[in-house]
Amino acid sequence: MPTVALLYNKKKFNVGRFFIYGGKLFSHNTINKVWIMNYKKISIASVAVGMFAAGAAFAQNAEIATWSGFRKGAASFTFDDGAPSQVSDAAPVFDKYGYKGTFNLVYNWNPNWSGFQGMADNGHEIASHSNSHGQNMSGEEASSKQNINGKIKQKYGIITVAYPNCNVPNESAVKSNYIVGRICNGSWKGMSDEMGKDGPSNWAQTPATMTGAEGQIKSTNDFTGRMQKVIQSNGWAAFLTHGFQGKNNGNATYSPTDLGAIEGALKWAKENDKDIWVAPMGFVAMYIKERNASKIEPQDGGAANTMSFELKHNIADNISKYDYPLSIRVKSDWSKVEVTQGDATLESKVDGGYIYFDAVPNAGKIVVKNANAAAPESSSSSEPPASSSSSEVASSSSNGTIALPTQSLDGRHLAAYVDASGYITVQNAQGLNITVFNSLGNVVRTTKGIGMLQKVYTGAKGMYVVKIGNRAWTMNIK
């Protein structure tokens, strides 16, 4: 939490960036010296009150973004039926621009399981589209989830479902097994085709607009027009696509879409990345639910040039831990900061009088330090997290940062890629040591895995190696 300067009977004790006088909190930005007039003893209770008030002031200056990255709107691209072309043609287009989609599979149609697992390992969301693709999937809500989970490994398994033929099955069964259930066009049910910032009024009926020959969305301009609309409304748009014109679509023959139109839309989104957040449907749903349930709590024990707090929510179910990172900004005049949460070093930036970073709810204390201030005595929180699983240590960087020890993995499937904003991003790396090397072999980042998804580094264009546990990826920041 930010510390304070306390005044008691016109006596000021300089302990930080704010001071309290006459029961009011004042900025300490322009005060550089300690002065005491007619000294009298100040009580511990007075100090505690001051520290609490400063923490409360900080909490008022901390804001959770409506959308990831403080963007103005969100969009999700969803794909039904597990078409071969979704593996061979669509996924590479999305990966080219650093975006990820949601791919809804029909279990009994035996899609390319290894191909879709590869997509999950590259950050895409794999979801259910039933066992049999009957007229209504009632009775298959839980079994299709279980069956597809047996073929596809991702952190929470299958958390999103799209209904065959747009017919809503047993809503209770949907909500017991998934965080979001998708219908087709909202307008087909008397609803809007776009959603507001809080998502649908019923999470078992999340609308997505049909694309292609039989749909409303056919061209790049149609896609971008819908995204522009939700940017203006601070809302969320979802698209529903089957196969693609001129491609191997298997069973996904309904309403083929021009893949070039989708690529044009993704190119536009990347050019407007500061305004539109493109992410899988399950990820956006998780963000909304966490954002609406989370609160920022200032923590005691702060020091000068330090702010400490926790980000908490009380969502609890058997589907997800709801640990998708939320974007936060804190008003501050600091020009350079270091942000940590637990053992993890968080990517952060300072812009326009705010500190920006992503943090994970319920993942421990968040500490923001003024990096331009004199360094305090060393503490364990500033050291790279250690591992006892291996004594192997990779090379060090020119500034002395040491790569973290390798760790054996526990069978989990990891994802690592460069997102549309140029961040090296990892998924499902909780608790694992992460080291990023530049093209010269120097260490440029060490951190600990935290949450469902984590931005671990961004920097100069070029090739990087990311080591997570005992695995390594080579990737290019363009």
Q: Is the pLDDT of residue 38 over 50?
A: no
* Nearest alpha carbon to residue 340 among 332, 352, 348: 348
Q: Please indicate, yes or no, whether the overall pTM of this predicted structure exceeds 0.75.
A: yes
Q: Rounded CA gap, 156 and 280, in Å?
A: 14
Mean pLDDT throughout 243-250? Answer: 98
- Residue 379 falls inside a structural domain: no
**Over 70: is that where the pLDDT of 32 sits?**
no
Q: What is the CA radius of gyration of the chain?
A: 25
Nearest to 86 by CA among 103, 99, 98, 100: 103
* Nearest C-alpha neighbor of 145 from the set 172, 167, 170, 126: 126
The larger pLDDT score, comparing residue 219 to residue 31, is at 219
Q: What share of the chain is helix, strand, coil (3-state, %, to 5)?
A: 25, 30, 50
The sign of the CA dihedral 41, 45, 47, 49 is: negative
> Residue 424 is part of a domain; what is its CATH number?
2.60.40
Q: Are residues 185 and 302 in the same domain?
A: no
Any domain includes 377: no
Whether 177 and 91 map to the same domain: the answer is yes
**Per-residue pLDDT at 404:** 65
Query: Does residue 26 register a pLDDT over 70?
Result: no
Residue 20, H or E segment = strand 18-21
Distance CA 137, CA 164 (A): 7
**What is residue 303's predicted lDDT score, i.e. its pLDDT?**
72
- CA 424: distance to chain centroid? 13
Instruction: Kindly state whether residue 463 falls inside one of the protein's structural domains.
Output: yes
Q: What is the pLDDT of residue 405?
A: 73
Q: In angstroms, rounded to a whole number, what is the distance separating the alpha carbons of residues 232 and 246?
A: 34
Tell whether 431 and 468 lie within a shared domain: yes
Residue 110 included in any domain: yes
Q: Is 340 found in the same domain as 196? A: no
pLDDT digits (tens, 9 = 90+) for 465-478: 999 988 999 999 99
* Residue that is last in its domain, among 308, 339, 370: 370
Please tell me the total count of domains within the chain: 3
280-294 per-position pLDDT tens digit: 999 999 999 999 999
For the chain, what is the largest distance between any 2 Cα atoms, rounded to a whole number of angstroms?
A: 86
Query: Does residue 52 share a domain with residue 199?
Result: no
CATH (domain of 255):
3.20.20.370
Domain finish residue from 345, 370, 395 = 370
359 within 8 A of 345, measured Cβ to Cβ: no
Structural domain ending residue among the three candidates 248, 269, 288:
288
Domain assignment of residue 407, given as a range: 385-477
User: Quick one: which of 237, 228, 181, 236 has its CA closest to 206?
Assistant: 181
Domain annotation covers residue 326: yes
Q: Report the C-alpha gap between 340 and 357 in whole angstroms.
A: 10
Same domain, yes or no, for 405 and 438? yes
Is residue 363 located within the same domain as residue 424?
Answer: no
Average pLDDT for 80-100: 98
Angstrom distance (rounded) from CA 51 to CA 194: 44
123 & 154 share domain: yes
C-alpha span between 125 and 127 (Å, rounded): 6
For 193-213, write each residue's pLDDT tens digit: 999 999 999 999 999 999 999
Shared domain check, 250 and 298 = no
Q: Is residue 375 part of a domain?
A: no
Residue 455 domain flag = yes
Do 57 and 82 lie in one domain? The reply is: no
Answer yes or no: do 268 and 314 share one domain: no
Indicate whether 176 and 268 sit together in one domain: yes
Instruction: Write the pLDDT tens digit of every residue in 436-454.
Output: 999 999 999 999 999 999 9
Other beta carbons within 10 angstroms of residue 475's beta carbon come to 15
**pLDDT at site 412:** 86
